[in-house]
Amino acid sequence: MLNKLKDRWKVNTVNLFLIILTFALGGSLCGYLGRKVLTATEMDKGALWVITYILLITLLWPLCVLAISIPFGQFVFFKKYLLKIWARMTGKNKKKIPIAIFASGAGSNAKKIINHFKGDESVTVALVVCNKPGAGVLNVATSHNIPTLLIEKEQFFRGDHYLPVLKQYGIEFIVLAGFLWKIPGGLIAAYTNKIVNIHPALLPKYGGKGMYGQFVHQAVIDAGDKESGISIHFVDELYDHGNIIFQARCPVIETDTAESLAAKIHALEHAHFPVVISQLIKNENQR
Ligand code: GRF
């Protein structure tokens, strides 16, 4: 429980202790002041008293907690905490989280993701990154008025060359949807656990270098597997290797070809990938 809170609030043990203490003392102070004010009004104890008391402590609580947080050195945490509560209550101040899609193929997944987030109040696809001039995904992006960035191999593998561009677009999360280059360490370090990939098989089977597109589906058929599926995973420095976030399965029947299996897999990808991305980003942002 305590570790969960530390993780959620991104604080160390000492700060967690001071935060809990601030909550406790702030709450007590607010209860004490609320009663004092009501005693001064000499109001009869009854339903009205209770309602007024609740209203009073709702107003006093943020002030008390902020006041107590100062001597404990937790003012910045509580200011942010209260602003977050306020933004949630009012639905205002909601900044959309800009994400980038990296893709180099037809872009059918990119299209689904873009459509999924159209009109979404918290996430927006702000950039499509592609390494292949003329790739279908570039048209997909352009037709949705999303800026594109065509990257160059040598500069990409320098690891941090494109970071300033990503930062310029405010990119907070990266989705690989049919992007075949390995992601360099510099980019992974800048976006730890914020880059996800989709692989058209049930990892850890049929992953790794050279395992993409029809090669994957043919390998599944050649092995005589009775099922295949999709894997959505975090990206690390190895191909198709990071922690798996989600998998979905489909049957492989005897008459399946690499093409027919690819169609089943695409249907699974389109149904699940945008939803999983959305949940992941929103969960992370609620912390
Ligand atoms: C998908 O099958 C995905 O699993 C793989 O590349 C393919 C991209 O397809 N990583 P599309 O370009 O989105 O149609």
Using the mean position of ligand 1's atoms as its centre, give its distance from the Cα of residue 212 in Å: 9
Nearest to 264 by CA among 224, 220, 203: 220
The single residue of 199, 217, 233, 272 carrying the catalytic annotation is 199
| Annotation says 199 is catalytic | yes
Residue 94 pLDDT: 67
Q: In whole angstroms, what is the distance from residue 137 CA to residue 114 CA?
A: 11
pTM, rounded to two decimals: 0.71
Nearest to 216 by CA among 179, 265, 172, 250: 265
Using the mean position of ligand 1's atoms as its centre, give its distance from the Cα of residue 178 in Å: 4
Using the mean position of ligand 1's atoms as its centre, give its distance from the Cα of residue 105 in Å: 7
Residue 25 pLDDT: 95
Nearest to 143 by CA among 125, 159, 161, 131: 125
Residue 124 has φ and ψ, to the nearest 5°, of: -140, 140
- Closest ligand 1 atom to residue 107 Cα is 12
Residue 76 pLDDT: 94
- Closest ligand 1 atom to residue 265 Cα is 2
Nearest Cα residue to atom 2 of ligand 1: 200
What residue ranges of the chain have pLDDT lower than 50? none
**Residues near ligand 1 with C-beta < 6 Å?**
103, 105-110, 177-178, 198-200, 269
pLDDT digits (tens, 9 = 90+) for 23-81: 999 999 999 999 999 999 888 888 889 999 999 999 999 999 999 999 999 999 999 99
Q: In whole angstroms, what is the distance from residue 98 CA to residue 123 CA?
A: 6
Tokens read off for 150: 């065509």
